[in-house]
Structure formats: structure tokens, C-alpha cells
Structure 1
Amino acid sequence: MAVLSQRALAGLKAYKYKPGGYTILDVIHTPLWNWMTEQLPMWLAPNLITLSGLLIMFVCYLINWYYLPEFAGEAPRWVYTVSGLSVIIYTNLDCIDGKQARRTKTSSPLGQLFDHGCDAISLHIMLSLAQCAFGHQSDWQSAIILEAQCVLTPVSGACVAQVKLPWLVSHYEEYHTGVLMYGDGFFGILEANYTLAIIMLITGYAGPSFWHQPLLPLLPERGHKELGFGPRVRHLLYCLAVIAAGYIYIGHPGLKPAQSRLEALTEGVIYAYIATQLIMDHMCKEPFEPPRLVLGALLLVAANSVLGIVPPHLVAYAFTPVMVVLYVRFVVGVVNEVCAYLGIPCLTIKHHAQ
């Protein structure tokens, strides 16, 4: 049974390749690629160049599979070095096959189909090699370069989509616009491939353990952030509620300038209250629990701004001093308790005996 219909074949014949979005690195490499192409024999088919690069990648893929069947662990250092070099070789061969086709006057839609088909396979291989270089199994820690099958965990499937989606979307964009964008002028396919190659070469020099050390050890420890799904959503809703309710409260029309200033002050005080609570909870390694009384009051006055049950100016005059008092009481109480516990004054310096 035929895969392509006659109409499909006719459409393929009429296909015109229109690239776009070249980056600075592409421009820098162009003289090199032109020189490499000039060194090739005229009998060398462009598709053979593409296939040769893919075969090199596939051999490295098998080597990594042999030493790291579950991705995790450590292979001989030369494995990672060869993997990085294979990515560099494939990337550059992939960029000269089209030049060889134009040089030998053998450009055709088949060449583009063959080239991009090999790219689709090589993407999977590159991500596999990179994951081996990180030395991680298929879990959330490998989110940047996961290649594992989607059936392993829901998270790994999402990570696969996250990495491969841009490549797929670029071709989906070409499907509608007729132009295949390689990048945004600053970062594109060449930069992405070189990034993966550098990761593998670093692993070849320092080993996978290089990627397992804490990132930026100067940063403090995380504090109390081991949260379940419910608390994470609740914290996000707290933040969204403050922003949304504050916007509604201070954004409705019909207020005089003095009243608007009061409402803006109230919103700012409430934001500072909740932000201070968050900072304090972080420093104290406590679960974040914003003041529900304050948040509830803000939601209530925001609802009144929409419904108009109580005149807004009366709410502004009554609500502002209450919130300011609550905030000051909170801050003073926290400062006094901390000073008492640490045995230090707040606004002066304790003189020690010489």
C-alpha cells in the first residue's frame, strides 16, 4: 500500500525551502562550512553526508546504552568526550549537506525531507547522550534533557514534551507560514546543540558528579519548602488574591484623589504585611501562612468596590486606619520578640565592656 498519494507527491515536488532566523553563530560558521564543502568530492551525495553524521551519533548512542543502560551511573570518561564530539560533528555535517547539494546541483525536496527526518532522530539521541552525561535516571531532575519514554512517570513525559515541543512547533509554524525559523537571531539550533556538546565534554573532563553538586553553594538552604500539591496551590492563590483584590479595590472609579490615596495606602500596607509574614516564615523555617484576617478583609472591601453596597469613601476612611494599626502592631510585636530572644536592641548599639 502506497504511503504517499499522487497529490501528496505533486505537493512535495512543488515544495520550496525557506529558512529564517539565523543567529550570529550561524553567520560566524558560514565561512567554515563553505570551506568544508569545497573539500568534499563532487561525487559525494548530500544525503550521504547527513546519514554519516547520524550513524556517528547512533554509534555513540549504543555505546552509552552499553555502559549506562538506565542512564544513571558513570561510564568511562572517554564515552562522554566522544559523545560531545559526535554532536559537534553531526551538527556541522548537518549544516553542509545543503551546501553540497547546491554545489552539485542536486537540491531536491527529498534532501530536505531526509535532512529533517534525520534531525528528528538525532534530537532523541542528543537528549539521551546528555541525560547520560548528567548521570540521572528519568525523573524530574533530568527535566532539561530528558529522553526517557513517557510511560515511566507522568513528570518525565511532561519533561520530554517541554524539550521536544519547540522543535516540533517550529515545523508546525513552517506548516502554516512556509518559513522554518532556526532561532530568534541570538539563540537557535546551533547554540542548543553546542550547549549539549559542551555539557558532555565537561562530563568527560569532570565526570557526572560535577552536575550533582549544589548549584551556587553561597545561597542559603531552602528552608521550609517541602510542600504538597495543596499547599503550593494555596500559596499561589494567596499571592494572586492579594494582587487581584488590591487592583480591584484601588482601581474602581468615582473616588476623590484623597480617597484614592487612602485606598492605595491600604493596599500597600496589606501587601507589606503579607510580604513581611512570608519573609519571617522563611527565616524562621515555618510554613507560610498569610494573615487570613487581613486577606479576608481585603477581599471583602474589593467585593464591595464591585457591588457598591457601602459607599466607597466610607470604606476608605474606616478601613485604612484599621489596617495601618494591625500592620504596625504586627511589626512592633515581631521586632520586640526577636530583640528579646536575641538579647539585642533594635535601634541602638549595645556597648560591651572592654
Structure 2
Amino acid sequence: MAGYEYVSPEQLAGFDKYKYSAVDTNPLSLYVMHPFWNTIVKVFPTWLAPNLITFSGFLLVVFNFLLMAYFDPDFYASAPGYKHVPDWVWIVVGVLNFIAYTLDGVDGKQARRTNSSTPLGELFDHGLDSWSCVYFVVTVYSIFGRGPSGVSVFVLYLLLWVVLFSFILSHWEKYNTGILFLPWGYDISQVTISFVYIVTAIVGVEAWYEPFLFNFLYRDLFTAMIIGCALCVTLPMSLLNFFSMDPSVAFRYFRVASKSILLYGWNSLCQHHSKAAEQPFSDLSFLIEETKFRLTRNGRKEHWPVIYRKKYCK
């Protein structure tokens, strides 16, 4: 891993022309968190590196994960009949989670304040965020845990994929529009998670056993919030921003992508039936057509080659 080349020389050369562009429209972030972060960043000395702030926040997230793993290694600590996590642990995790969230919001402001913003700094920040997606979900999972009143491990696995999907979707959106539209779900989830940790320390995990509404349990609310935020907020907003870029370009992108997927599926189907019948391709012909699109995206001309491949099998 030490000798692995994560960034190619061509990509490093492109960093010189890169310019960070982000849009944040979340009311919680605009009217509450950003004024708070603008006050906090003034406390930091100008010699403090933004990447150090980023890494410190990430270490707090990892520490929360390890602390909860120590007291709840098998996710049964919140189940009835098991030894629960001490109340002070929930308070520590809640406070550190909010501090880590604050540091993640302050690092960029510190970079602009000290005129030290770089593409590598953004890459470092978002690279650590991708790891944090796992630690956040697994740590908060201990609130409900496993057992009759908890969430199954399979559901946890699905929730991890939903969170990673939202993260990747935001960066796919930025790749195609040139602008990072900060997802609403991140700020809401971080404030909510920190609040729930503190509430758990006060009322105990037994409070989450009771139904939230009728027979709708809090564990169901937890699952519905994560999935609903991804499907009803993050996904529609990303598609809206993507299609607002240039409708003709967007529709062409989806048309080319759908054709490629269908042709790949057809080719796989042909291979499967040929192998199942133990017959080689007696009449196999390849038609390779390279179609090149010149698309203009935010003033940047890009070259998108698409290869169509058709196989005919008997």
C-alpha cells in the first residue's frame, strides 16, 4: 500500500487548473451553523494548518467508534437483559461527535482565512469523510443494537450502503456540474445524532423500546430517516441540479449510459446461454463503433468516448 500510486501525474497536473466551488442552501447550515463556525474559526491561530483541523476531527470520529466498540463489541449492549453502555459514554460520544462536526465545518474556513486552500486539501478532507460515513453509522447503531428491540445486522449493512450512496451521489453531481451542492442530510443528521446521544444518556436506552407512534418503533424511525433522507432529499436534489446544468447534455448522458448498460447486459446474456449449451460461438461477429461526444460543461470541453459492442450468438 505504501508504494501505491493514488494520484497519477496527469491528475496532479490538473490540480493547477482546479477551483473549488460549492453551494450550501440548507437553512440549518446557513442561519445557525455557519455563523457559529465563523465565530469558532477566529479562535484558531493563523499558523494552524487546515489539514490538521480536518485530521483532528476525523480522529475524534474514530475515537467514538473505538470507545463504543469497547463497551458494545457485539451490538447487544442496548438490548433488554444485557449490560448497557454507561451514561457517561453517551455524553462523551455526543460531545465529541458535535466537536468533530464543527471541525469539519471550520477547516475550510481556516484554509480560506489563511489563504492556504488547495485541491489536495479538499481531496484529503473528502477522503476522510468517505471513511467517516462508516464510523458514523456503526457508532449510532449501538443506540438500538441487535435483539428484539433493535435493528438487524443486515439492515445495518443496507443503511451503510445508503449513506455511501448519498456521499458518492454528491460527488458524482459535482463531477458533472463542476459545483459541490452540499447535501442537506449531512448537517441535519450530525446535529440530530449528537442530540440523540445526549438524550440517551438522560433517559436511558430503555426509552427507545417504546413505540414512537402507534406500533411504529424508534428503530423504524431511525431506519426511515436515513433511507428517506437519501431517496426523498439527496437524490431528487442531485438530479435537479444535474438536469438544471444543461437539459440536452444531461439527457444525452443518460441515453448513452442506458445504451451501454443494456448492451453489456445483452452480451452477458449471450455468453451465459452459449456456455450453458456448451456450444462455442459458431457465428460470432463484433461490431465496434466508437462515438465521440464533445460536451461543454461549465466552459470545459470534455471528450467522452462510448464504445458500442454487439455480439450475435446461436
Q: TM class by shorter-chain length?
A: 0.5 to 0.7
**Is it true that 1:10 corresponds to 2:13 in the alignment?**
yes
In angstroms, what is the RMSD of aligned CA positions? 2.3
> TM-score, normalising length from structure 2?
0.60
Deviation at 1:104, TM superposition (A): 1.0
Contact 1:46 1:98 in 2 (8 A): yes
Deviation at 1:109, TM superposition (A): 0.5
**Is it true that 1:170 corresponds to 2:170 in the alignment?**
yes
State the SS of the aligned residue for 2:206.
helix
Q: Distance in 1 between matches of 2:207 and 2:146?
A: 12
Q: Which letter does structure 1 place at the counterpart of 2:122?
A: Q
Cα distance change, pair 202–121 in 1 and its aligned pair in 2 (3 A): same
Q: Distance in 2 between matches of 1:136 and 1:177?
A: 41
Cα distance change, pair 158–35 in 1 and its aligned pair in 2 (3 A): closer
Q: Which runs of 5+ in 1 are unaligned?
A: 221-354
Deviation at 1:56, TM superposition (A): 1.6
Q: Which runs of 5+ in 2 are unaligned?
A: 78-83, 217-314
Match of 1:214 in 2: 211
Deviation at 1:156, TM superposition (A): 4.2
Deviation at 1:164, TM superposition (A): 2.6
Match of 1:202 among 199, 202, 217: 199
Match of 1:291 in 2: none
Task: Compare CA radii of gyration and give the structure with the larger one.
Answer: 1
Cα deviation, 1:66-91, whole Å, max 9, x if unaligned, reads: 11001221210111111111111111
Match of 2:94 in 1: 84
Deviation at 1:12, TM superposition (A): 2.7
Q: Distance in 2 between matches of 1:100 and 1:118?
A: 17
Q: Distance in 2 between matches of 1:12 and 1:31?
A: 30
Match of 2:72 in 1: 68
Q: Distance in 1 between matches of 2:138 and 2:6?
A: 30
Match of 1:129 in 2: 139
Match of 1:27 in 2: 30
Identity rate of aligned residues, in percent? 35
Contact 2:144 2:150 in 1 (8 A): no
Within-5 A mapping of 1:1-354:
1=3, 2-28=5-31, 29-73=33-77, 74-136=84-146, 141-142=150-151, 153=154, 155-183=155-183, 187-217=184-214
Deviation at 1:177, TM superposition (A): 1.4
State the SS of the aligned residue for 2:38.
helix
Q: Distance in 1 between matches of 2:145 and 2:179?
A: 37
Number of matched pairs = 206
Cα distance change, pair 177–60 in 1 and its aligned pair in 2 (3 A): same
- Greater helix fraction, Structure 1 or Structure 2: 1
Segment drifting more, 170-179 vs 128-137: 128-137
> TM-score, normalising length from structure 1?
0.54
Cα distance change, pair 135–210 in 1 and its aligned pair in 2 (3 A): farther
